[in-house]
Amino acid sequence: MNDAFRQDKSGETSTIDFGFRTVNREDKQGLVRGVFDSVADRYDVMNDLMSGGIHRLWKSALIDWMAPQPHQHLVDLAGGTGDISLRFLRAGGGSAAISDINHAMLNAGRRRRDIIKYHDRLSWCVGNAESLPFDNGVADFVTIAFGLRNVTDREAAIAEAHRVLKPGGRFLCLEFSQVKSSTLQRVYDAWSFNALPLMGRLVAGDADSYRYLAESIRTFPTPEVLADMFASAGFAQIRVRSLSAGVACIHSGWKLD
């Protein structure tokens, strides 16, 4: 058996991917927290530089697909600096709760000038996507954008999203995906593994964290496998929308009852 999938006595894998490394399952959350502690203050700037601003179009596509309404409540997992929640409120959503394991990311979000005006419709909490501090059936939407690949137990996080949704609620995951063109893949690899760590070192003072982020994209499940994970958690009417030739995609699933 590949060491990345070594099992303990309960049958659960005791090791897991952390980029291209294999680490003990119980260590991954702390390692991920360390990555985002390091880059929190420059995270939003780096998102623009890394993607050439295209992440804004992807997030707009996510919000457009949601079509928020004033009575609706969003729970945003791995919500970091609040970008998705802010977009949700600006698009007409009613309220949002931002959950993230990382204090530094949440603090960076609270300091954003463009988010302060929405303070009465936003809440912030330190929470693990695998075990959320919310009651059953409280959300019209649950989202996670560029965060699921950093979660240790992705199946547990998807199940938690299902639990906190109201019947008729919807879960959407925006994540990097599988590039469809071999030519584009070569360009994308060169950018990810050479330019991105260099940019991380120059702008955020941390090449290793951005090297991990590039590696974590390559070890994330395929869109088909992720869709199966949605189905296993009880979601229905699952749809997958490819963005930018497969560089990213959105998975959507509904909780019917």
pLDDT at 241: 97
C-beta of residue 127 within 8 angstroms of C-beta of residue 100: yes
Distance CA(107)–CA(102), nearest Å, equals: 9
pLDDT at 6: 41
Distance CA(78)–CA(126), nearest Å, equals: 9
Whether residue 140 lies inside any domain: the answer is: yes
C-beta of residue 227 within 8 angstroms of C-beta of residue 139: no
Angle between helices 25-39 and 103-110 (to 10 degrees): 30
What are the angstrom distances between the C-alpha of 98 and each of 105, 132, 185, 242?
Answer: 11, 11, 33, 25
Whether residue 28 lies inside any domain: the answer is: no
Q: How many domains does the chain have?
A: 1
Q: Which among 106, 96, 127 has a CA at the least distance from the CA of 41?
A: 106
Distance CA(203)–CA(49), nearest Å, equals: 9
pLDDT at 218: 84
Whether residue 217 lies inside any domain: the answer is: yes
pLDDT at 2: 38
Backbone angles phi, psi at 251, to 5 degrees: -100, 135
C-beta of residue 251 within 8 angstroms of C-beta of residue 240: yes
Q: Identify the residue whose tokens are 């997030």.
A: 59
Whether residue 47 lies inside any domain: the answer is: yes
* 81 SS3 class: coil
Exposure string of 244-256, with b = 16+ CB inside 10 Å and e = fewer, is: bebbbbbbbbbbe
pTM of the model: 0.86
Whether residue 48 lies inside any domain: the answer is: yes
Whether residue 23 lies inside any domain: the answer is: no
pLDDT at 146: 92
Bridge partners (DSSP) of residue 24 are 15
Bridge partners (DSSP) of residue 126 are 100
Q: Which domain holds residue 150?
A: 36-180+211-254
For 7-37, how does the pLDDT look when each residue is reduced to its tens digit (9 = 90+)?
Answer: 444 446 688 887 778 888 988 888 777 777 7
Residues recorded for the chain: 257
Check which CATH number belongs to the domain holding 159 and give it: 3.40.50.150
Whether residue 148 lies inside any domain: the answer is: yes
Give the pLDDT means over successive 10-residue stretches in the chain (257 positions).
41 75 85 73 70 88 98 97 96 98 91 93 96 97 95 96 98 92 80 75 75 84 96 98 94 96
Distance CA(77)–CA(208), nearest Å, equals: 24
Q: Tell me the torsion sign for CA atoms 189, 195, 200, 206.
A: positive
**H/E element, 253:** strand 248-254
Whether residue 27 lies inside any domain: the answer is: no
